[in-house]
Structure formats: C-alpha cells, structure tokens
Amino acid sequence: MNDRHDTASVPRGPIRRIVIAGGGTAGWMVAACLSKTMGKLLDITLVESEEIGTVGVGEATIPTMFTFHQLLDIDEREFMASTHATFKLGIQFEGWRAPGHRYIHSFGLTGKDHWTAGFQHFWLEGRRRGVAADYGDYCLELRAAQENRFAHLPRNGMNYAFHLDAARYAVFLRRFSERYGVKRVEGRIASVDLTAPDGDIRSLTLDGGRVIEGDLFIDCTGFRALLIGQALKVPYEDWSHWLPCDRALAVQTPCVDDALPYTRSIAHEAGWQWRIPLQHRVGNGLVYSSRFISDEQARATLLSNLQGQPLFEPRPIRFTPGQRTEVWRRNCVAIGLASGFIEPLESTSIHLIQRGVIRLMQTFPAERIAQADIDEYNRQARWEIEHIRDFIVLHYHVTERDDSPFWRHCRTMAIPESLQHRIALFRQSGRVFRAPNELFAENSWIQVMLGQGIVPQQHHAIAQLMNDRELKEFLDRIRADVNRTLAQLPSHQRYVEQYCGSALAPAA
C-alpha cells in the first residue's frame, strides 16, 4: 500500500525555500498557515497562473475552519464580509433515506451523555416508553437550523461553520499571506525538474523559462497533480467501487430568499444536488454517477431544480474518488485535490486541506527531511481520510431507496469492513465510538445513522434505572433548555446583515 522510497542517497540541507505549486483555496491556505507561523524562518514562493481556473466545487465548510482561523488570528467579521459568507449549522439531507424524507446532520451536541453511555441510549429508552420527542429536539444547533436562527453565544455555545465564496476566500488569504512575506509568481508550470530520475524535485520551470528552485515543494495543482502524480509517479488508489459518483456540474444563481443557516443536500435519481446560500448568490451543483445518468440528463436535472435563473452555463467537473498511496514523497507534499478527493458530500475538502497543512507544521523538518516523518505523515493522512470515506459511504449504502438503478446499486454494493463494523454495532446495541483524531464525532454518526433509517435493536441498561417520571423530567429539561435559548436567537439573515454584511468587504 505504501511504496516507500529510500532517501538516504539524497543529501539534503536545511529546509528554508518553500515552493507552493498552485493557488486557489489549497495553495493560499498553505501559504497563510506557513507564513503566519514560520514566515520568519522560511522563504515562501507560490506559483499560480490566472489562466488556470480552480475547481471550487464546494463553498461549504465544517466547524474546524473556525479553529483554523483562530490559529491564524483571522478576524471573523473581516473574513465573512470579504467572502460574502453566511453561517452554517449543518446539512439537511432530503430524499436520501426515502423520497420525501428529510433530516439534518447538525454540528452540535445532542442531549447529555452519562459516562457509561451516550445520550442516545436514554433517548431510545424514552422512545420505548413514549416520553421522548424527536432526537433532534435535544440539539440547539439542529433546532436553530430548522428555525433559521443564529447568534454567537457566550463560551462558544453554538457550533458553526461557514458558507463562503471560495474564489474570494483565496483572494482574502493571498492578501493575508503577502503581509507575512509570501511571494506570488505568475506563470504556468512547464516542467518539474528532478535531481535524478528517481530523485527529489529540484525546481519548477515556467512557460517563460523562469526557474523556481526550492527545498520543499507543496503540490496544490488540483486533480492534475503535476508534482506528486506526474513527476514523482505516486499511484492513485481508486475508491469508485465504494463511492459511485464521479462527475459534478456547478452553477450559481441569484438569491431569491433569505439565506438558510444550513446546506441543502437533495438526493436525485443518480446522485444529489447541493444548494449553498451566500450573502450575494447561491451556489448550486449536481454530483452524479456517469454509469447511471448521461451528462445531458444530469444537466437537465440540475437546471430544472434551481431556484432562480443560472448566472452562467453549468461548469462540468470530472473526478475519481480516491487517495494517493502516498501524499508525501521525498521533498514533495500533496495538499488538496492533488492528494485525493472523496466527493463534496459533508463538505470535507477544505477541512482536509487544513489538516494537511497543520500536519505538515507538526512534522516540519528541523534540519533535514526524515523518512520517519514522511511515513508518519502518510500514516496519519490515510487513517484520517479512510474514516471520512466510511462516513460518506454510509449515506449512500444505508438507504430505503430502490427507485432507480443507482440507489439499488448503492444499497447492495460491498462496503469497507470498518464501516460494516460501525453499522452492525449501532444496529445491534445503539453504540458508537470515535477513533483517535477522527473528524466526525459520535453525534454525527448517530444523526446520520438514525436519519438514514437504522433503528438500534437494544440500548444500554443504564437508562432503565430511571422510572418514567425521572426519565421524562430528564428529557424535558434538556428540551426546555434548547427551546429557551432558541427563542432568544434572531433570524440568521438579520444577524448576518448586522454582523458581517458584504457591504463591509474590500474590493476583491
């Protein structure tokens, strides 16, 4: 699985010259983090060409972006105004379990856990006795999403992420990075120059003949993977037997209604549609499987399910879900789409960029690149993306839909053993677990598994210690606390306009 390369024959000195190949969200997130944290020690150059567009499939994020911005001391109001951002409390899945059914995977915690068992066990006992409301009624973020409300709460009492304009975000991070010394070079990469046929990357040669030398190269060239794939020949592991969607169409529409504080994920005959509200427009797209629907049919499906007229022709994107067998080889680290791509569902792409650069910071070479650091980086990267992969596969595989060949395929396809275990554990006992450093916590797995229709056959005996009155009071108290806070929250639209209206934004 890991084609390890011996680096002992390649003498390396101190790592000072960093070359980032490619801009966009990935390149400028890397530049921002490296320059803000270690800019005084490094000479950082980013090479990008205005002639090459970025993919920009997703404009939705998850709460880890909040943490990323805290690490870099980024002002939230300035960021949101500059990127025309809105808040995101979760994702509403429409038609995934069955046509007409919907549920929300929110970012918050649900209920209160006991040290022996999670809240879901007490809720299941309450359902058995007829004293429990819907599972989501015990989660503030989920209820706020349903009511289209939002506000910052004391002590970070509301978990949230953002919907943002990805192109504006790259411009915002470019300005940020250049303040910390990052040098941008305009140009298209013509060749990647190695020290030997099986050696390190020595330099990049641009179309005009300019040569950019470096000690460590970051491949942010997207699906092209010019460095890690084409130059260093790192194989790509195809996961399309678990993840059937391989194409997307993206288009923008004007705002026709108030911005919702959640992403909409709408299942269709052979894939799903996203709807992402920003301050100034709405991002739309259809993710689909070319095995089950033609490009023409997909385009018609998307255009017939828009709110408002498209602002341009839908932009096609082709991808192969999967991961590089190594994301760090020799003196090249692939971050973003060059390292791999699952698909837009659950908005993990920007998170994986963030994790890639933070992991690089944590394993950054003191003097010379060490193979042990490379191996550990690759091990952690694989561990992380495989857990995310399983979570995405869960949405497709656990469904009651059998109304199209696509959904029948998803229901019956083989799935990773790691996911089989999680599903069986929850179905039989109501239990979930979180692996070390795993992105999605227990409550995420519970919300999606319940939402997709898994009903646990039993639950923890600890919940039986309460009598009917005690259990009802316990559940009602949590629900009342949620409703009390919810009633004090303003509408999401009004809060965004007052907090970070895009009229405050500098010119892009």
Question: Which residues are designated catalytic?
Answer: 88
Closest by alpha carbon to 492, among 175, 212, 158?
A: 158
| Beta strand pairing call for 332-334 and 328-329 | antiparallel
- Going along 89-149, which residue ranges are E strands? 90-94, 102-106
Strand partners, 372: none
Q: In whole angstroms, what separates CA 23 from the centre of its chain?
A: 18
Q: Calculate the dihedral angle through the C-alpha atoms of 33, 107, 338, 235, rounding to the nearest 10 degrees.
A: 130
Closest by alpha carbon to 245, among 297, 288, 302, 274?
A: 288
Closest by alpha carbon to 352, among 376, 382, 373, 391?
A: 382
Burial of residue 429 (number of CB atoms within 10 Å: 0-12, 13-18, 19+): middle
User: Do residues 78 and 85 touch, judged by C-beta distance below 8 A?
Assistant: no
User: Do residues 250 and 300 touch, judged by C-beta distance below 8 A?
Assistant: no
Helix (H) or strand (E) holding 162: strand 161-163
Whole-number Å distance between alpha carbons of 458 and 155 = 36
Residue 182, φ and ψ in degrees, nearest 5? -70, 135
Q: Looking at residue 60, what DSSP letter applies? A: B
Strand order in the sheet with 322-324: 236-238, 322-324, 340-341
